[in-house]
Chains A and B, each alone.
Chain A
Amino acid sequence: MPELKCTRESCGKALVELGKRNHNVVVLSADLAGSTKADEFAKTFPGRFFNMGVAEANMINTAAGLAVSGKIPFATTFAIFASGRAWEQVRNTVAYSGLNVKTIATHGGISVGPDGASHQGIEDIALMRLIPGMTVLVPADAVQTPKAIFASAEYYGPVYIRLARLKIPVVTKDTDSFIIGKSQVLKEGTDVTIIACGTMVAAALSAAEVLLKDNINATVINAYSIKPLDTETIIFWARKTGVVVTAEEHLLAGGLGSAVAETLSPHRIPIEMVAIKDRFGQSGEPDELLKEYHLTDYDIVEAARRVRVRAS
């Protein structure tokens, strides 16, 4: 079993590290610094940390003002509020002018758990992805998370980084590269391409193991950069394997699966999408919810079998 680690915690440490490297980095929080782990930065750099209270819209626009003044602001809150409550602020003030505002959205997906539907951001990838010029990153584990944060600081422009709440398996290595607009082929196979992001990457890897027992050899792609999407790699492996499964802890509409379908639509390649079907979340333990909403390795295995039948 791979080691379980919390992406939020590695994010908190990465922000401190980034703050040491670059004095222009500032962090904003909307009263959830303990939950988003932005509190580590607050302790280390109190003069560069701003708690904006329960006011996400104001936080994003304050970040915009800091960004036009040469700062590199990281605004932190839960995915549902970062993408939903402050959507129009990101759209009209940040992205329209290409401002250098980074949003770190923790508590993405349904595995947020007992807090229930109001706190489970399951539409955030779609909301952010459809804004022109946005960059949307979904790191797969606690090793990739700091790399996403450092890469976003190096890049000039608006970036949305989505993290999970719970501890998730470490599936990447320290030495793996992280480049905005690229993806990572974790396993090469010939029979089906599984494209996953975030928490679902580990599930995709374990699905690939199960499939191998049936002599189905899967390629597994960690699509950590949802936008820009690594279309080159995706088209290459989709054509090579002939069928595709996507997997994400997000609504079916507008997420990674949609982005892959947009990319592959000229190529006549069957796709099955493992995602939440037009339905809100609810309270429950993360494992129970992932099962209830068909977001497990088993669901990926089933999808792979279905898509292969469709292609034959």
Chain B
Amino acid sequence: MSLPSDDRIEFLRAKAKRIRQHIIRMLGRAGSGHPGGSLSAVEILVSLYFHKLRINPEDPTWPDRDRFLMSKGHAAPVWYATLAEAGFFPLSELNHLRKLGSILQGHPDMKRTPGVEMSSGSLGQGLSVANGIALAGKIDKTSYRVYVLIGDGECQEGQIWEAAMAGAHYKLDNLCAILDFNGFQIDGAIESVMSPLPFAEKFSAFGWNVITVDGHNIKEIIQALERAETVKNKPTIIIARTIKGKGVSFMENRYEWHGKAPDPQQTEQALKELQ
């Protein structure tokens, strides 16, 4: 296991802060988009991109790279900000989010954005795709690992459970899903809209190795990612308990900020809080 030093954790926390600032700035500029579920997933992506993933931003399609997919495609801003910070494309591209001709579409588009492994946006499909990549890895006996971020509201899609069945059936231990369990979807709390709970028991019953972590604790996330790699014959899901809108007081745990961009005043206030 390679666990980061305290200095390294501090560095990762600083990255997370910068990424949150990017998210607010880019959404403020775009005038639309999804802040809540982007801010909740920041530490997850930071732990992956700046610690765990074997990737090369200079060579984004290097065959042996680890794969990360975002099934909850509406959280594209956190992915874009992370990819830019990791060096996949210039930070200046973040200014063009959701604009005509931009490499940064409203939802991820693999044909336009370096580092985006798979297009998404229509919920429920990414876990199946991750299964397919993991299966290919098994056929070819490659060493890459596949990571996929799914949403809690997204687990209302039946296809998530089709994929959960298949991932366990084919013993995809090279696959690790991470559930951004922030508790809210666009219409309200997930339990009030259509409860997909309990997650741990469900995935466990489907044959998955389940690890639960505080999704804003980088050390815990990294430990879970390392542990997942040691589990054989079954896929792992890391259930990351997170706070929707994390880091911005007026967005935290407010479902109204699922899919609404801050206005200029709100942007300024949010950025002040994220200093």
Contact A64 B136 (CB under 8 A): no
Contact B165 A55 (CB under 8 A): yes
B63, B110, B121, B139: residue with the most chain A Cβ atoms closer than 10 Å: B139
Q: Residues 110-134 of chain B: 1 if any A CB is under 8 Å from the residue's CB, otherwise 0?
A: 1100000111111011101111111
For A69, give the chain B residue with the smallest CB separation.
Answer: B136
Q: In the complex, how many angstroms separate the beta carbon of B175 from the nearest chain A beta carbon?
A: 10
Q: In the complex, how many angstroms separate the beta carbon of B164 from the nearest chain A beta carbon?
A: 10
The answer, yes or no, to whether B210 is at the interface (CB within 8 Å) is: no
Contact A88 B139 (CB under 8 A): no
Contact B122 A68 (CB under 8 A): no
Contact B119 A92 (CB under 8 A): yes
Contact A65 B165 (CB under 8 A): no
Contact B162 A66 (CB under 8 A): no
Q: In the complex, how many angstroms separate the beta carbon of A98 from the nearest chain B beta carbon?
A: 7
Contact A93 B139 (CB under 8 A): no
Q: Residues 213-238 of chain B: 1 if any A CB is under 8 Å from the residue's CB, otherwise 0?
A: 00000000000000000000000000
Chain B hits for A44, CB < 8 A: none
For B108, give the chain A residue with the smallest CB separation.
Answer: A97
Contacts A47-B139, A92-B125 given; indicate if A63 touches B132 (C-beta within 8 A).
Answer: yes
* Complex Cα gap A91–B119 (Å): 11
The answer, yes or no, to whether A62 is at the interface (CB within 8 Å) is: yes
The answer, yes or no, to whether A70 is at the interface (CB within 8 Å) is: yes
Q: In the complex, how many angstroms separate the beta carbon of B104 from the nearest chain A beta carbon?
A: 16
Contact B125 A52 (CB under 8 A): no
Contact B162 A65 (CB under 8 A): no
Contact A57 B162 (CB under 8 A): yes
Contact B119 A65 (CB under 8 A): no
Contact B162 A50 (CB under 8 A): no
Q: In the complex, how many angstroms separate the beta carbon of B82 from the nearest chain A beta carbon?
A: 20
Contact B128 A97 (CB under 8 A): no
The answer, yes or no, to whether A177 is at the interface (CB within 8 Å) is: no
The answer, yes or no, to whether B212 is at the interface (CB within 8 Å) is: no
The B119-168 residues at the A interface (CB cut-off 8 A) are 119-122, 124-126, 128-137, 139-140, 159, 162-163, 165-166
Chain B hits for A68, CB < 8 A: 110, 117-118, 129, 132-133
The answer, yes or no, to whether A162 is at the interface (CB within 8 Å) is: no
* Complex Cα gap A241–B89 (Å): 57
Chain B hits for A58, CB < 8 A: 128, 131, 159, 162-163, 165-166
Contact B170 A89 (CB under 8 A): no
* Complex Cα gap A69–B137 (Å): 8
Chain A hits for B109, CB < 8 A: 96-97
* Complex Cα gap A92–B128 (Å): 13
Contact of A69 among B133, B163, B169 (CB under 8 A): B133
The answer, yes or no, to whether A48 is at the interface (CB within 8 Å) is: yes
For A91, give the chain B residue with the smallest CB separation.
Answer: B122
Contacts A55-B162, A58-B162, A66-B136 given; indicate if A97 touches B129 (C-beta within 8 A).
Answer: no
Q: Residues 65-78 of chain A: 1 if any B CB is under 8 Å from the residue's CB, otherwise 0?
A: 11111110100000
The answer, yes or no, to whether A53 is at the interface (CB within 8 Å) is: yes
Q: In the complex, how many angstroms separate the beta carbon of A56 from the nearest chain B beta carbon?
A: 9
The answer, yes or no, to whether A184 is at the interface (CB within 8 Å) is: no
The answer, yes or no, to whether A61 is at the interface (CB within 8 Å) is: yes
* Complex Cα gap A96–B109 (Å): 9
Contact B128 A50 (CB under 8 A): no
Contacts A62-B135, A71-B139 given; indicate if A55 touches B119 (C-beta within 8 A).
Answer: no
16 extra A-B contacts, CB within 8 A, seeds A26-B139, A58-B165, A62-B163: A57-B125, A58-B166, A61-B126, A61-B128, A62-B131, A62-B166, A64-B128, A65-B131, A68-B117, A68-B132, A69-B137, A71-B136, A93-B120, A93-B122, A96-B109, A97-B111
The list of the 10 closest CB pairs from A to B, nearest first, reads A65-B132, A69-B136, A61-B128, A58-B162, A55-B162, A62-B132, A65-B129, A65-B133, A92-B122, A66-B132
